[in-house]
Structure 1
Amino acid sequence: MKTIIQKLYKKKNLQISEMYKIISYIGKKKISNIEISSIITAIKIKGLTKEEILGTIKACLKMINKFHVLKKELYADIVGTGGDYNQGINISTSSALVASLLGFKIIKHCNESVTSISGSSNILEMFNINSKMSKKLSQKILEKFNICFLHAQKYNPVYKNVKKVRSQLKTRTFFNLTGPLLNPSQPKLSVIGVYSKKKMILLSNTIRSLNYKNVLVINSDHTDEATLHDITYVTQIRKKKAQSYILTPEDFGIKWKKKNILKKQSLNKNFLTLKKIFKGKGTTEQNEIIAINTALLLFIFGKKNLKKNTQNSLDIIKSGKIYKLIKKISKIGSLCKKQS
C-alpha cells in the first residue's frame, strides 16, 4: 500500500489493480482518515484517469450491498456528480419524481451534501422521506409508486468510510465522479450530469467500458444539468458506442432564458422553493428546467420526442401531483417505521 501511495505522490497514474487495492482498503477500514485524505488530494493534484475510475468501481461493486428489483422491468437513474457549486434546487430528484408519475421506473441514487448545501438525501429528509429505509421497504415503494431512493452510504461501505474526510475537505474529489456509476441496483439506463466538459469526456469514455444499455452524459454552463440559458452538451452511450451532440432550449420546445445568477440558498430555502413547485405553484423557469431534464430521462427509455416529453412533464409539474406523491411515500415510510 505504501508503494502505491508513494506512486501517487510522484504524480504517476495507477493501474486498475492498484486503485482496486486502495478502495478495498478504504471499504474494509484498513486505512486511516489521514491516508484517505492524502490519497484524495494526490489524485486531485495529479488528475484522475479512466483506469482509476474503473478500479474504484470494481472495488466498490465487490463490497456493495446490491439492490435487486423484484420484477424484471426496465428502470433508470438520474443523477449528477455534484461539485458544480450550484446552490439551486435539486433538479435530478425533482425530475425522478416527475418521470415516476409518467409511469417510468426510477431508482434514484442519493447522498448527503458534501460540496453543496442540499444533497438529494438532505432534501428528501425535509419531505420526511428517509433514503436510508430498509431494502424491503424501498422495493415495496418502487412497486407501488415507480420510484425509490437508495442512500449511497447505506449500501456502499466505501462511501460511508470516506464521508468524514470528504466533509472536512469540502472540495470536489474523484468520489463525485464515481458516485453516479455506483447505484446499488446497477441500472442499464441513466442520465448523468457532470460539472465540467473535461470530466464529461472522461466519464463518457469510462462508461463505454461498463455494462450500460443507454446513457446520456450531460453538461451545461459548468453545471451537472441541462439549462434554459445555454447549450447543453450531450454524449449518448448506447451499447458501448458513443455519439456527441448539443441541445438548446428550443429542442425542448422552450424559449431561451437569461442566465439567472443564483445566490446561495440554505437547505430550508431550497425545501420551501421545491415544496411550492411540487404543489404546482412554481415559476415558469422553475417548472421548465425540471421539465427539460425529465425529458432527457424519458428519452433514454425510448421516448425520443423531447418537445412532447417536456410538455408531458410540465403537465405533471403544474398539476401538483408531485407533492401528493411525496406525501404518500412519506406516509408509507412512517407507518412501517411505527410497526417495526
Structure 2
Amino acid sequence: MFTTYLEKISAHENLTSAEASHALKMIVDGMVSDEEVAGFLVGMRMKGESLEELTAFVKVMREASTKVDVDTTGAVDLCGTGGDKSGTFNISTAAMFVVAGAGVPVLKHGNRSVSSKSGSYDVLETLGAVPHLQKAEVEKLFEETGMAFMFAPNFHPAMKYVMPARKSLKIRTFFNMLGPLLNPAGVQHQVIGAFSTEAAAMMIQILANLDTKSAFTLSAHDGLDEISLSSQTEIFELKSNLSGNSTTFDPGSLGYSKVEFRELLGGDADYNAEIIINIVKGNASQAQRNIVELNAAFAIHAAGAAGTLEEAVEMASESISSGSAANKLEQFINASMRLA
C-alpha cells in the first residue's frame, strides 16, 4: 500500500487528504521501513507539498501527540522552522524570556539541532535549564513561571519512526514545516519563522484551516527564519480572518537601524548561551539586543498583549531594561532544575 503512495509522489502527483493521512499514519505507527520513510520525505520535497497534504499531516501528528493541559489564554509560541542555514544565534529562544518578562505567557515548542549548530534544546541545556521535562513537569513549570519549553520528542513519540531518516538525509523536509504547527499545548497565538516566503504563505493557511486565533508567519529577504534587521521581511498575518497577501516589513518603520548580517551570527550552544545571557542582562551588542527585542515585540502583539507593534516594542524593551527578562531566565532555569 505504501509503495502506491511512493509511486504517486514520484510521478509528481499530489496525494488526496485521505491518502496523505493514511501514509503518515503508517509512518508514525512504525509500519514503514527507514528507507521508505526517507524515500517519502525526499519524494514530497521534490514534488512540493500541497496545502491539502500538509494540513492532513498536521492533523495526524496533532492527534498522535501527548497533550499538555494548561490554560493557554493569552499564551504565545514563537519558533522557526529551522533549515534556513543562516548560522544566527538562537533568536526566538532569547526572545522567549523577553516576552515572558513583559508579562506574556510563553509555551515554546522546540527540539535539538537538526540542521544548525545549536537548537533551542541545546542552548537551554547549556544555560543550565532542564529542557527535557515530561508532561506533568512541564504543566507545573508553566503554572509556576508562566513559561514552558516542550521538547518535541517527549510529546511526539511517533517521531521516533521519522528521526533516523531525517538524520541520515540531513536536508530540510516537510517536518521542518510541521514542527512549529504541532504545539502540544494547542496555543492559539503564534509567531513562526519560515525558511522561505512560500513556506510562510503555506503555514499561515494551515493555521487558518486549523482555527488558530492569531498568528504571524514570516520569512526575511536575507533568508532568515526570523524578523531580520539586515533586510526586509515578508510577513503574513492571521487575525479573525486571513488576508492572503504578505506585508513587506522594514525594521526602520519601528525605528530600528539596519545591521550587517554578520552581526547576527552565532556559533555553538556555548557561544549562543553567552549571547542570550548578555542580551537579558543588557550587555549585548545593539544588533543582538534589537533583533531579539523586535522578534519579542511581534510575539507580544500576536498574543494580544499590545494593541500596536509600537506598544509591543516598548514592552519588549522595558522587559530587558528593567531586568525582568533576566529574572525570567533565572526563574526558568531554577524551576526546571527543581522539577526535574
TM-score (norm 1): 0.93
The answer to whether structure 1 residue 64 and structure 2 residue 65 are counterparts is: yes
Kept in 2: contact 1:251–1:307 (CA 8 A): no
* Partner of residue 331, structure 1: 334
What is the Cα deviation at residue 13 of structure 1? 0.9
The share of aligned pairs that are identical, in percent, is 26
* Partner of residue 319, structure 2: 316
What is the Cα deviation at residue 171 of structure 1? 1.0
Kept in 2: contact 1:212–1:240 (CA 8 A): no
* Partner of residue 107, structure 1: 107
* Partner of residue 236, structure 2: 235
Kept in 2: contact 1:40–1:174 (CA 8 A): yes
Q: Distance in 2 between matches of 1:72 and 1:323?
A: 23
* Partner of residue 182, structure 1: 182
Kept in 1: contact 2:132–2:154 (CA 8 A): yes
The alignment partner of 1:225 has SS state of: coil
Kept in 1: contact 2:213–2:239 (CA 8 A): yes
What is the Cα deviation at residue 133 of structure 1? 0.6
Kept in 2: contact 1:279–1:319 (CA 8 A): no
Q: Distance in 1 between matches of 2:332 and 2:208?
A: 35
Whichever residue aligns with residue 237 of structure 1, its letter is: L
Q: Distance in 1 between matches of 2:339 and 2:106?
A: 21
The alignment partner of 1:198 has SS state of: helix
What is the Cα deviation at residue 155 of structure 1? 0.6
Q: Distance in 1 between matches of 2:34 and 2:168?
A: 11
* Partner of residue 298, structure 2: 296
What is the Cα deviation at residue 50 of structure 1? 0.6
**Equivalent in 270, 277, 281 of residue 272 of structure 2:** 270
> Structure 1 residues 336 and 21, CA, compared in 2 at 3 Å: closer, same or farther?
same
Q: Distance in 1 between matches of 2:235 and 2:56?
A: 25
> Structure 1 residues 92 and 34, CA, compared in 2 at 3 Å: closer, same or farther?
same
What is the Cα deviation at residue 4 of structure 1? 1.3
> Structure 1 residues 335 and 263, CA, compared in 2 at 3 Å: closer, same or farther?
closer
Gaps of 5+ in 2: none
Q: Distance in 2 between matches of 1:84 and 1:108?
A: 19
**Cα-to-partner distance string for 1:56-85 (whole Å, 9 max, x where unaligned):** 11111221111111x462211111111100
RMSD over aligned Cα atoms: 1.8
The alignment partner of 1:229 has SS state of: coil
Q: Distance in 1 between matches of 2:290 and 2:98?
A: 12
The answer to whether structure 1 residue 283 and structure 2 residue 280 are counterparts is: no
* Partner of residue 145, structure 1: 145
Q: Distance in 2 between matches of 1:332 and 1:99?
A: 18
Gaps of 5+ in 1: none
* Partner of residue 6, structure 1: 7
Kept in 2: contact 1:110–1:131 (CA 8 A): no
**Equivalent in 292, 300, 310 of residue 307 of structure 1:** 310
Query: Which one is further off, 303-312 or 163-172?
Result: 303-312
Kept in 1: contact 2:16–2:53 (CA 8 A): yes
Kept in 2: contact 1:106–1:148 (CA 8 A): yes
Query: Which one is further off, 191-200 or 243-252?
Result: 243-252
Q: Distance in 2 between matches of 1:66 and 1:228?
A: 36
| Runs of 4+, deviation exceeding 6 Å | none
What is the Cα deviation at residue 320 of structure 1? 4.3
Equivalent pairs, count: 336
- The correspondence of residues 88-127 of structure 1 with structure 2, limited to 5 A, is 88-127=88-127
Kept in 2: contact 1:280–1:319 (CA 8 A): no
> Structure 1 residues 278 and 210, CA, compared in 2 at 3 Å: closer, same or farther?
same
> Structure 1 residues 72 and 294, CA, compared in 2 at 3 Å: closer, same or farther?
closer
Whichever residue aligns with residue 108 of structure 1, its letter is: K
Whichever residue aligns with residue 314 of structure 2, its letter is: Q
What is the Cα deviation at residue 262 of structure 1? 6.1
* Partner of residue 166, structure 1: 166
Q: Distance in 2 between matches of 1:336 and 1:266?
A: 27
What is the Cα deviation at residue 266 of structure 1? 2.1
Whichever residue aligns with residue 294 of structure 1, its letter is: A
Between 1 and 2, higher relative CO (CA 8 Å, sep ≥ 6) is seen in: 2
What is the Cα deviation at residue 319 of structure 1? 4.3
> Structure 1 residues 329 and 34, CA, compared in 2 at 3 Å: closer, same or farther?
same
Q: Distance in 2 between matches of 1:307 and 1:239?
A: 21
Q: Distance in 2 between matches of 1:41 and 1:78?
A: 27
What is the Cα deviation at residue 208 of structure 1? 2.3
The alignment partner of 2:248 has SS state of: strand
TM-score (norm 2): 0.93
The alignment partner of 1:227 has SS state of: coil
The answer to whether structure 1 residue 250 and structure 2 residue 252 are counterparts is: yes
